[in-house]
Amino acid sequence: MSFHATVLTLYRDMFPGPLGHALAGRALSEGRWALDAVDIRSFATDRHRTVDGTPAGGGPGMVMRPDVLAAAIDGSGGAGPRLLMSPRGVPFDQAMATRLAEGPGVTLVCGRFEGVDQRVIEARGLTEVSIGDYVLAGGEVAAFAILDAIVRLLPGVMGNNQSAAEESFSDGLLEHPQYTRPALFEGREIPAVLTSGDHGRVAAWRAAEREALTAARRPDLLAPVRRGRAAD
């Protein structure tokens, strides 16, 4: 059975969007995963199809109504964990993408306005997830990012499974630099070790580069890796 993604959104026409192209799009057409985009507004019951209300206690903006969103979640038939795209959520990372790719699917709720009524978050067991420390106009862009990260890990999607094993965050470190032809580009040569044919030296060089890059750019990632090594 293929992985099934359900996205609840006020802008159904945004999907599949970028997920209909390249690696994810090819996997979608091959049936390796399925995508349903559900229009939250279609579950509103008044003639104006109202999905939001003013914040209790006052304040700017509007808040998504719990009754409408709950009806959309209940009627979507979505599989797997229910994730709410939210800047206050737990950080989405490669480990989470891997866990989700191993399951039957995922349901992604795309918030809008000032946020979502807390009661529906609690009542429907939504896990708030963030893709970074910034605020977007809505959750759709975050949903694209999360699904792209998941889909590429599904069986048969990537031609070389080793690619996933060696890329950034696969073992807590950033990926090493990559090179290809031509051998000389604007006076810059490919590091000699990579053309030496010595696989042991190449592996050692890549490992050293990964650690150096991580130390320079993401030292927060390096400390847990070193603690894990010490424990071993």
pLDDT tens digits, residue range 170-202?
688 999 999 999 999 999 999 999 999 999 999
* CATH code of the domain containing 173: 1.10.1270.20
- 158-177 mean pLDDT: 73
Mean pLDDT estimate for the chain: 94
Give domain status of residue 157, yes or no: no
The whole-angstrom separation of Cα 119 and Cα 101 is: 28
Domain assignment present for residue 160? The answer is no
Q: Are residues 175 and 215 in the same domain?
A: yes
Q: 124 with 78, same domain?
A: yes
d(CA 121, CA 128): 8
Answer yes or no: do 39 and 73 share one domain. Answer: yes
Segments forming the whole domain that contains residue 182: 167-231
- Helix, strand, or coil here: 33? strand
Q: Tell me, yes or no, whether 65 and 133 share the same domain.
A: yes
Whether the predicted pLDDT of 100 surpasses 60: yes
Residue 230 backbone zone (phi > 0: left; psi -120 to 50: alpha; other: beta): alpha
Is the same domain home to 120 and 180?
no
Enter the tokens of residue 2.
Answer: 């293929």
pLDDT at 38 over 60: yes
Domain boundary residue among 151, 186, 214?
151
Is residue 8 located within the same domain as residue 77?
Answer: yes
Kindly state whether residue 28 falls inside one of the protein's structural domains. yes
Whether 187 and 220 share a structural domain? yes
Query: Count of domains in the chain?
Result: 2
Q: Is residue 159 part of a domain?
A: no
- Domain stop point among 118, 151, 184: 151
* Per-position b or e across 17-52, b if 16+ CB within 10 A of its CB: eebeeeebeebbeeebbebbbbbbeebbeeeeeebb
Residue 87 pLDDT > 60, yes or no? yes
- Which DSSP string corresponds to 71-132? HHHHHH---S-EEEEEEEEEEP-HHHHHHHHTSSEEEEEE--TT-B-HHHHHHTTPEEEESS
105 shares its domain with 195: no
pLDDT greater than 60 at residue 162: no
Reply yes or no on whether the pLDDT at 120 is more than 80.
yes
Percent of the chain with pLDDT over 90: 88
Element (H, E) at 207: helix 199-217
Examine the domain organization and report whether 219 and 175 are in the same domain. Answer: yes
The pTM of the full predicted model, rounded to 2 decimals, is 0.90
Query: Is 212 found in the same domain as 141?
Result: no
Residue where a domain stops, chosen among 96, 125, 151: 151
